A and B are shown apart, each in its own frame.
Chain A
Amino acid sequence: TQLLEQSPQFLSIQEGENLTVYCNSSSVFSSLQWYRQEPGEGPVLLVTVVTGGEVKKLKRLTFQFGDARKDSSLHITAAQPGDTGLYLCAGPSGYALNFGKGTSLLVTP
């Protein structure tokens, strides 16, 4: 099993702050995905990164895939309360996705 470790586990910040969360593995992945899960709901895909060194932007969210395709980061600029949720990274393993345990983000007004 290819393990994905996410850090930090918990993050509590105020509205307007910037933050970065990390997803690391000792294994090489063909791609990595980031999902966000809100309470009472299933995870929703935010982005898929495929190429080493790739940077993708989704409004205030910036995703980066490491050059060696072993790690990824998610940077949020000027966080808003609506960004609150569990951020999960996932990588393919056969016909399954391996998920990290997630970073639980709380953004307070």
Chain B
Amino acid sequence: KAGVTQTPRYLIKTRGQQVTLSCSPISGHRSVSWYQQTPGQGLQFLFEYFSETQRNKGNFPGRFSGRQFSNSRSEMNVSTLELGDSALYLCASSRDTINTGELFFGEGSRLTVL
């Protein structure tokens, strides 16, 4: 079956702009979570959605937001971009809760902020 699809794979923005990243989960998976990966901080949890509801949010400023649609597809948005937002943004899907289940990750969207 098709894996998790993230678009775009690469993008370059300038400070102050905003960006929207998209994630299509594996068919049948209702939970979508987002992570930011940087060399210094590793993988950091942004937020998790299940059936269009945000169930958990990480310790990121309000400039980072997301949503999930009825077909489980998800988007995340970062407004007023800062240099420090340059990172690999990973989306992961799972069937339901993630406490013991497997997360299936996409290949990520690599954002560069100039």
Question: Which A positions have Cβ atoms within 8 angstroms of B?
Answer: 1, 30-31, 33, 35, 40-45, 48, 50, 88, 90, 92, 94-102
Report the minimum CB–CB distance from A87 to chain B (whole Å): 12
Report the minimum CB–CB distance from A79 to chain B (whole Å): 23
Q: Known interface pairs A48-B100, A88-B43, A92-B100. Does A42 touch B4 (Cβ–Cβ under 8 Å)?
A: yes
Q: Is A94 within 8 A of B56, CB to CB?
A: yes
> In the bound complex, what is the Cα–Cα distance between A80 and B104 (angstroms)?
25
B side interface size, CB within 8 A: 28
Contact mask B17-36 → A, CB, 8 Å, 1/0? 00000000000000101010
Report the minimum CB–CB distance from A26 to chain B (whole Å): 18
Q: Which of B65-73, B77-85, B91-99 contacts A (4 or more CB under 8 A)?
A: B91-99
Q: Is B98 within 8 A of A41, CB to CB?
A: no
Report the minimum CB–CB distance from B29 to chain A (whole Å): 14
Q: Is B98 within 8 A of A92, CB to CB?
A: yes
Q: A45-B103, A96-B56 are in contact. List 7 more A-B contacts (CB 8 A).
A: A31-B100, A33-B103, A42-B4, A43-B90, A97-B98, A99-B35, A102-B42
Indicate which residue in B33, B41, B56, B105 contacts A43 across the interface (CB closer than 8 Å).
B105
5 tightest CB-CB pairs across the interface, nearest first?
A42-B105, A101-B42, A99-B43, A95-B56, A96-B45
Residues from chain B with a CB closer than 8 A to the CB of A35 are 103
Q: Is A96 within 8 A of B98, CB to CB?
A: yes
B6 to chain A: closest residue by CB: A42
Report the minimum CB–CB distance from B100 to chain A (whole Å): 5
